Amino acid sequence: MDQTDLRILDELSKNSRITMKELSEKVHLSSPATSARVEKLETAGIIEGYTIKVNQLKMGCFVHAMINVIMKSNYQAAYLSYTKAQAPFVIQNYKISGDSCYLLECKFPSNERLDEFLVGLSEFANYKLSIIISK
């Protein structure tokens, strides 16, 4: 991987819908050469996919929470099933080391919905809640 590949990755991470023509102009290569490099990055697994960025506020999710999860037992399947069932609210579920077992990043439409989520979560784990005030 060279500097041109890194520039391609940088541009695609800013706008994954950029055309090959626009991308090639930004990285100073021909369109076929840029396309070949992108394909090579995809084949190598460096580019795993293309995503969108969702505006959670416009989706009606006004409460942004980080939840440190401390499991009550070593049995985690019930917890993982619960977080999967709550997928509309769970942005990320990180397995971490340290005082907590997991770090959940969640968005909720209201404090009431957050409270319902936490009541369900408390069946499997203890938690420490932080609310994001601003980015």
Please write the tens of the pLDDT for every residue from 88-132. 999 999 999 999 999 999 999 999 999 999 999 999 999 999 999
Alpha-carbon Rg of the chain, whole angstroms? 20
In this predicted structure, what is the pLDDT of residue 52?
A: 84
Q: Where are the beta strands (DSSP E) in 30-135?
A: 63-71, 90-95, 102-108, 125-131
CATH (residue range 63-131): 3.30.70.920
| Residues 63, 109 contacting (CB under 8 angstroms) | yes
The residues, ordered by sequence, that sit 6+ positions from 123 with a Cβ below 8 Å of its Cβ are 78, 82
Q: Which pLDDT belongs to residue 54?
A: 80
Q: What pLDDT was estimated at residue 72?
A: 93
Whole-model pTM over 0.75: no
The domain locations on the chain are: 3-43, 63-131
Report whether pLDDT(45) > 90: yes
Q: Give the mean model confidence (pLDDT) for residues 28-57.
A: 92
pLDDT digits (tens, 9 = 90+) for 51-90: 888 887 788 779 999 999 999 998 999 999 999 999 999 9
1 closest CA partner among 43, 54, 32, 64: 43
Q: CA-to-CA distance for 108 and 88, rounded, in angstroms? A: 9
Residue 113 corresponds to which tokens in the numbers above?
A: 């919905």
Question: Architecture of domain 3-43 in CATH?
Answer: Orthogonal Bundle (1.10)
Distance CA 83, CA 123 (A): 12
